[in-house]
Amino acid sequence: MQLNLIPQKELRAIKARSFGGMKLKKRRKVARPLREGLVHHVVFKSSKAQGKLSFYTHKELVRNILHQRARMYFVEIMDFVNMGNHIHLKVKFNDRKRFQNFLRTFAAILARKITGAHRGKDFGRFWDGLVFTRILTSKMEELGLRLYFEGNHRQRELGQSERDFYLSRWNQFMYRLRQRRATSQREAFS
């Protein structure tokens, strides 16, 4: 049973599937790997987003700007989680340039609105690093992201211990599923 969203030949051509975040600080020499039509995991992170600057404090503002920018640049927001100091998105798009504009304008407008920065009233650097993006290449990765989002929702609503419990149960399920899949593949090749 093949679970890849894209053909194996094309999957091998995607050398780097993720880009951004703190690990890429001051090393922007490579192009962001993006694939039109595929699902991407996107993370906007700011350690300054605490207290009155928290994304969760401004959750309606975040939601409105996100959906407005997504409509403007034809980006499909499949799911998102607001964790207060970072935002996870599950997105799909059909035009690379529009998606890059979405990332740029969403980050700029959100930071400006939350900090109150404007001409003559500078706030300084708000974001920790570049926006993190990752291409999801299989249904298993999509399932993993969906369950990770659910864990984050539980953490937001019920606390860290509930998230840890949920994710430990999820990891046990995934381990059993991978074991079954490996066994069925071995039997198919025997």
pLDDT along the chain (190 residues), means of 10: 47 53 56 85 90 91 95 95 90 94 94 84 81 87 85 82 84 84 79
According to the model, what pLDDT value does residue 42 have?
93
Separation between Cα atoms, residue 49 and residue 96, nearest integer Å: 28
User: DSSP for 7-26?
Assistant: -HHHHHH----EEEEGGGTT
How buried is 140 (Cβ within 10 angstroms: 0-12 exposed, 13-18 middle, 19+ buried)? middle
140-144's contacts with Cβ under 8 Å and 24+ in sequence apart are 140/3, 142/5, 142/39, 142/90, 144/174
What per-residue confidence (pLDDT) applies to 16?
A: 54
Please tell me whether residue 121 adopts helix, strand or coil conformation: strand
Predicted pLDDT at 69: 96
Give me 117's structure tokens.
């920065």
Which residues neighbour 4 within 8 Å (Cβ) at sequence distance 6 or greater? 11, 137, 138, 139
- Two tokens at 36? 């039109």
pLDDT score, position 90: 94
Taking alpha carbons only, the member of 96, 55, 58 closest to residue 75 is 96
The pair of structure tokens assigned to 90 is 């599950």
Q: What is the value of pTM for the model shown?
A: 0.76
Rounded CA-CA distance 77/105 in Å is 15
Considering the domain 15-137 in this protein, what is its CATH number? Answer: 3.30.70.1290
Question: Can you tell me which residue has the tokens 């211990």?
Answer: 161
Paired residues of 39 in beta bridges: 92
Phi and psi for 119 in degrees, rounded to 5?
-60, 125
Q: What is the pLDDT of residue 17?
A: 57
In the chain, where are the structural domains located? 15-137, 138-190
